[in-house]
Amino acid sequence: MKRNSLIITILILAIVLIITILKLKRNNIEDNTQILENVEKEDNNITQINDEYIETIPANAEKFINLLDQNNIILDKEEIKKYNEEIKKKADNMYDLTKITSLSKEEIQNYINSYTLPKLPQYNGEVTLTTENTREILNNRNLENIKNLEQIQKGIIVKRANLRSFPTDIGFYNQKNIQDFDNIQETELCVNTPVLISHTSSDNEWNFVISPIYAGWVREENIALATNEDYETFINNNKFGIVTEPNLEIEGTILDMGVKLPYINVTEEGYQFLLPQKNENGYVEAKTITLDRSKAHIDYLDYTNKNLYIQAIKYEDVNYSWGGKNKGVDCSSYILNIYKCFGFEFPRNTSSQNKSVGKIINLENKNINEKFEIISNNFPSLLYQNGHVMLYLGKIDNEYYIIHASGEKMKVVIEKLTSSSSHIKLINKVVIINN
């Protein structure tokens, strides 16, 4: 009798358990259905949201825009891709990271040893640098522990980073208390730049990296480790947008004009993107951010004269800084960032830009009047002199105008190009970027 009662109890419990499981399954199906319905509603709402880019025209841009055929596309996206391939064939210091799959100890040594410290005396603020300072910096390169790399660790820049000739934040300036041109500052690396990590400093605070435009030392804290899958998400993603404002700050992160980010969707607040961040394990992770539709654009901007002038003049009054230090731009990074908005891939320095980018008209041995004639017939155009580049905007009331990141004015300025200007005397190349 007791045995029968036990069997009945077990059967009742089993039935209750089965009923409970069925209820849970039904509830789960209902929950999933509700989620799908919510997603569909969200999708429907998204289609009703205006996703058009909000064009903002700087005050000084209109008069120059009106000089030109504004909206005709100069080069389309496919033509720009072909243009980039030609640039890479001619340029120095541009690296195709997909082709660097291993590095020998000797290759890494050659990269690191390509830099030499400036001769003393050099100054860092009020401090006069000593041979002891330089010895410590040189030792921090950790040359004795360089290894052959059969596989190279990938990384992604998560904070705007200084790329240095040597693993130190100590500045090397030519004059005491004048912090203008740091001789070991090479360039800034923008957020979401891919890098290959080839070596680490003795203090473990710096990595020697190879980026698409430069090789050098970057603080470890500014780099997140990345897998091949991470590169597909952040670097090779065909669904992307670009930042269209200079020095856009979002939650403490500085985004330069031309920064490229994976795009998610559009909401009433703006465009949603994935921002690379560094997690507690040192690897990259995604954070969703929203940017106003006037400060970012889905895909590259169309390469038109109007868009070129808008992007260039947005930089007016932004600080000049050698090598992009302290949130500023120098003359060549200014040009680089403008043209990144259209999908162009330029080398970093003027010495490489002026022999690899666009159609080059040589002005060597031309007198000032001949130079002005050639310049006035070719605009917009890039004007190169040794160590400097300017964007020629056009001629208004018989006055020639340029915009450039000026080391003299220490900011990006629009100014007249006159016959008495040192620039017109020194300009030796006109570069036109069109068909």
Give the predicted TM-score (pTM) of the model: 0.88
> Do 385 and 423 meet the contact criterion of CB atoms below 8 Å apart?
yes
Rg of the chain taking only CA atoms, in angstroms: 28
- Rounded alpha-carbon distances, angstroms, from residue 104 to 197, 213, 214: 13, 21, 18
Q: Is the pLDDT confidence value at 227 over 50?
A: yes
Span 33-52, average pLDDT: 48
- Residue 11's pLDDT band (cuts 50, 70, 90): low
Span 302-321, average pLDDT: 97
Task: Quote the pLDDT of residue 383.
Answer: 98
Q: Could you tell me which residues are beta bridge partners of residue 123?
A: 128, 173
- Residue 46's pLDDT band (cuts 50, 70, 90): very low
Task: Quote the pLDDT of residue 15.
Answer: 56
SS3 call for 309 = helix
- Rounded alpha-carbon distances, angstroms, from residue 376 to 124, 303, 332, 391: 43, 21, 22, 12
Task: Quote the pLDDT of residue 9.
Answer: 55
Span 252-277, average pLDDT: 97
pLDDT tens digits, 122-134:
999 999 999 999 9
